[in-house]
Chains A and B, each alone.
Chain A
């Protein structure tokens, strides 16, 4: 850390940053395209469509055969087809930030494994090392070369969240870790399968770390089945059309994606856009506040991204370069690459990173990384989303309409817990209920209530019944949030959701990760309100069981009698007991524009739909109702005018200034 600029980005001392041209052993023969190959426009489309379908089928296989709700329901995984040198050709509609990580792992393998032990047909490499290219150790990547006649043609790869990969804490999110050696183990790329044969020694090495070896093994085999399917189908495609043609299509898909992005970049003025998101607490007990900042410079037809302004790496709140790059590319995929159907490789070419190392969003070894999946990664995506959205909101129409405000900052997944379930089995749960998500506001329309998380496009919440079958809990209620101040704006955010729970069928349960923000982290867009504060509330020794016995299911956490537990962000583990009730939420996300500019009829509609109270309609939106309950148009204008005047009259100019 003394002279970090002397460290090399080798995936060991600091996060791996691949060079423009990889250093690959001459022992490995690559299939390279001949620029002379012409593909007719029809064959091109047939092959393009097939490749996208192969990748989707790869994803569907993982989804179907895996058994962790986090994978099969929440879609916390990704799969991709990559070129022979490890560039992403296409990724699936799953966790978007994982896409580029598959490229990093693959490129690292090409540079570091092509000589010894060599890369052969039928190999599958496993890697969960964040310094090589994962978001955290749980998101373990598998990547497998596809060979054609002895030459490396392309790669297929996936990353799946495995429920427990070891380390001191069930679920492997180690909040108290201050060094990666207190984290779950990191495995740099090693062969899980060699020349088509599963290496049981490596499989067992990986499973041996886990508290849930059987679950992890099922998921691992789901991932292998996905890879095998994709590899076999690509081979069939090559057999049918010939390697030159398929290769030419892969190259052209990337070029076409790049042209699409360039055209959009031309609609954006040059300039610099930034976002800053604050987080708190580096390890339990710490009282610090830390900054994540992303700056995007758009110059001509390229984007240059840095994280200057970000706090130095600290405690257990770090991610590596892989997380930074992936987190920035995710919102770009949605706001600049929305018409590419996941063929994001061309987009990636236009984004250049100038990371500041040794920071919480681009940490050097041996910073621990295991918690990044729930803290840093959503934070980096959110920070990048803010910067990208502001840039897009400055673009020409229709691109400017694609801007989307900041979504989830820290609450992803809600909470992680473990215990013995009602069937007598040990379990580790990650609550997927909050995966209802919400689409944030944009410059032209409201977000979508419980409309999913845009950077995990296929994401889904589990049913309450599925949760209650798997875990010893009873959900008292699960409902959409109110519209209120959180996420208010000229266009408001979609609404998130809230859930209240009690234990059922067990006496106690441990919660290791929960989200109770001391302050809201989300940032509003262009004068809009920020999103809401994510919370995790616990009330002890309540009368809930008495109420249930009396025939009434509590519907309001706040009205229940009991002792409120004082919770903290990244607080110590909580032991939940019978009679406790706890409440989790995914808050509304960012609003766009001054709420006083909101169309009064839209405010009235939320009122009519029961999503907003009359009081909040007045306070937040300056709405005045006539005696018959309809919108008083003149009254609203006049009242809003008075609110503007009040702002002007009472606010003194602040002495603070921006930094130069």
Chain B
């Protein structure tokens, strides 16, 4: 028997999933161990082996493939525990990363804070001023050298950073290096020569995009997290090897693919924050098997609500990300998040006799009032408890009895101030929270020209399955999938187990319409050859490799807007070029109104992107073939009174133990299906059924 394991760690829990060669799936989790990640990883694997009824050693030695996703890099950054990093940049531009384009004070913050300057500040610098060195070199916007690189200055700067300042890593970011990388490459050679132990990354490699600020931030973060990320991967690989695993360890990337450790470490930044991406990839893999081409993937946890879109089977891709108020360029699957989750705090709105929810969160400490950890402000989770959607006794499989009375008292106290009962206040909190979630989804879909009614909604994360019944109805989506049922909380791990090898090859180069075709075709050829070569080098057979072409297009002058267009294959002539431009214009007008794009304004194609995918063979996930319409008695936990938020009516609702629901079972709302790590609420008039893959499907 062979196993295919996916593991996701770094958050509160380390989650793992294994599929065997028959396509059966099991899940497990264990608390993450922060001092030594591998410990928690092996705790989780031990639990996983138990699920299969085998020993850990048997599990590991028979594992065919192991992929790992992690938030370790993000943690390093947020906690400022990365390497002491120096920055080498073009003379005159060393302050760019400190000035943060003047918007670092508010980047990524709630827009309400924009009006309140005294409540905002810039973040701690990633690279303090005394670790920034400027050298003489200059390239212009056409990629022409204006001033050659002064190699002596590079050498002096590196010696001063390394010998006087003790930096462990260096980021090299020169102006226009993405047009002409020569100077960065030369600087890297010098650094490697005189300080071979210092980690170096270059901006043209990490983020080959226009905009020195965002490119520099990406490069600095890359250098900042590189060594510790490498140690972390090496540690995990080493432990696995010792335990008898003899394949290369694969690492989840924010681009939505996995890569062997060696390739992943070429740009460690792409392993940063791969957790949410894992969830999205897990959703995509399941959606693909279920035949859903359009999916809204929603992850509601304790503090945040994260949304990603899958359109025509493909997760959307973005080029920017924000961490700790630093914005950087990074090609990654698009996810957007707002502060909205189980821990979001409800409070009395000043001046208007109404209730607001979030963005403040009680987090895990003190957490909701019902957690008995000293929390006093009612949260969304407290509202769930007050209404009965969460049972105080069976929360987390009964491992953590909740204090319902305290939650009720907190809710009464809040409700009294606006003339509501505890139940009414609790129902209101859920409505507000759900409206916020729905609003984010609406923004993410409608603004891109998509209609939520054409989408299935996937709900996962600790609080997603419990609230999806409401925020999904709000949008009129086709239906809701709780992916993998009880496995919903391990979806990221499932995503890394089910991903393929993916690498992007991209070049930003401006082509104004009419495009110089020889140049464009040449660039595409070059990138495709590079892409093909890289995957072949990883040992992939040519027939397993697929290359897809994309271009970013915009109207001349639009710096903040572009449409990512999938391009046809083959060599382009006048006809193909005309078609590419016509389709761009048509899409633009469809999105923003007829005539929004002006004919007189030129069209630009400014980046060519090749996605190279090598499909990995894995067993087909086993389908449950035996349909059971009768619900196992073990699944029936009896009834409890739940106040459903829509009409604030006490209704006796049936409660199920989701572990015992089988393919073919149907549950009619009002009901709650309890699972060890989450619960699924089934609203009145809704039905929940279990599908062939172990997903729960909610019909609204």
Contacts and interface: CB of A to CB of B under 8 A. Distances in A.
Direct contact of A and B (CB under 8 A): yes
Interface of A: 40-46, 48-50, 52-53, 56-57, 60-61, 63-69, 72-73, 93, 198, 213-215, 217-218, 221-222, 224-225, 228, 252-253, 255-257, 259-260, 263, 333-334, 337-342, 401-402, 404, 422-423, 435-437, 439, 442, 444-445, 448-454, 457-466, 468-470, 474-480, 497, 500, 504-505, 548, 551-553, 555, 609-610
Given A41-B420, A67-B558, A479-B95, A214 B600 contact: yes
Contacts of A478: 92-93, 95-96, 99
B118 A49 contact: no
Contacts of B90: 553
Most buried by B among A253, A437, A451: A451
Contacts of B138: 474, 548, 553
A73 B600 CA distance: 23
25 contacts: A45-B354, A48-B352, A56-B111, A65-B592, A67-B558, A72-B558, A93-B111, A217-B600, A217-B601, A228-B593, A259-B351, A404-B117, A436-B99, A449-B122, A451-B102, A457-B114, A458-B103, A458-B106, A458-B114, A464-B175, A479-B95, A480-B95, A500-B92, A553-B90, A610-B130
Contacts of B146: 474, 504, 548
Contact of B557 (A218, A252, A334): A218
Contact of B115 (A342, A436, A459): A342
A340 B130 CA distance: 40
B476 to A, nearest CB: 11
A305 B536 CA distance: 73
B140 A504 contact: yes
Interface stretch (B210-218, B257-265, B489-497, B538-546): B210-218
Contacts of A435: 101-102
A555 to B, nearest CB: 6
Contact of B100 (A61, A64, A450): A450
B150 A551 contact: yes
Interface in B118-142: 118-122, 128-130, 134, 136, 138, 140-142
Contacts of B210: 463, 465-466, 469
B595 interface: yes
Q: Which A-B residue pairs are the 6 nearest by beta carbons?
A: A477-B92, A67-B557, A42-B428, A256-B352, A436-B102, A93-B114
A64 B141 CA distance: 23
B559 A73 contact: yes
B443 A57 contact: yes
Most buried by A among B114, B128, B134, B556: B114
A552 B351 CA distance: 61
Given A44-B354, A442-B118, A468-B141, A218 B443 contact: no
Given A65-B558, A341-B112, A555-B91, A260 B351 contact: yes
B592 A553 contact: no
Given A45-B357, A49-B436, 5 more contacts: A64-B561, A218-B557, A256-B349, A422-B141, A462-B559
A551 B118 contact: no
B95 to A, nearest CB: 4
Contacts of A72: 558-560
A45 B597 CA distance: 37
A458 B112 CA distance: 11
Contacts of B592: 61, 65, 221-222, 225
Contacts of B352: 44, 48, 252-253, 255-256, 259
Contact of A477 (B91, B428, B429): B91
B98 interface: yes
A255 B353 CA distance: 11
B166 interface: no
B102 A551 contact: no
A609 B93 CA distance: 17
Nearest to A225: B592
B485 to A, nearest CB: 31
B180 interface: no
A350 B121 CA distance: 30
A460 B103 contact: yes
A41 B428 contact: yes
Contacts of A452: 102-103, 105-106
Interface residues of B, number: 86
B211 A214 contact: no
Interface in B452-476: none
Contacts of A61: 447, 592
A63 B436 contact: no
Contact of A497 (B99, B355, B427): B99
Contacts, number: 272
A254 B111 CA distance: 19
A448 B115 contact: no
A255 B598 CA distance: 42
Contacts of A252: 352
A42 B355 contact: yes
Contact of A225 (B95, B117, B593): B593
A552 B593 CA distance: 50
Interface in B307-354: 349-354
A430 to B, nearest CB: 13
A51 to B, nearest CB: 11
B205 interface: no
Contacts of B356: 45
Contacts of B431: 42-43, 46
B147 interface: yes
Interface string B170-188: 0000011000000000000
A552 B105 contact: no
Interface string B576-612: 0000000000000000110111101100000000000
A451 B105 contact: yes
B137 to A, nearest CB: 8
Given A44-B354, A334-B115, A553-B138, A477 B93 contact: yes
B626 interface: no
B102 A461 contact: yes
Contacts of B99: 436, 449-450, 461, 478, 480, 497
A53 B443 contact: yes
Nearest to B178: A465
Contacts of A477: 91-93
A63 B559 CA distance: 10
A451 B114 CA distance: 12
A551 B149 CA distance: 8
Most buried by A among B122, B420, B429: B122
A454 B351 CA distance: 25
A589 to B, nearest CB: 12
Given A217-B601, A468-B140, A610-B130, A461 B118 contact: no
Contacts of A442: 118
B426 to A, nearest CB: 10
B520 interface: no
Contacts of A66: 558
Interface string B555-574: 11111110000000000000
B116 interface: yes
B596 A225 contact: yes
A108 to B, nearest CB: 27
B198 to A, nearest CB: 23
Contacts of B147: 548, 551-553
Nearest to A200: B595
Contacts of A44: 352, 354
A627 B627 CA distance: 86
A301 to B, nearest CB: 14
A338 B118 contact: yes
Given A57-B447, A73-B559, A469-B210, A459 B102 contact: yes
B555 A45 contact: no
Contact of B561 (A65, A256, A338, A553): A65
Interface string B181-223: 0000000000000000000000000000011111000000000
A69 B350 CA distance: 38
Contacts of A253: 352
A465 B91 contact: no
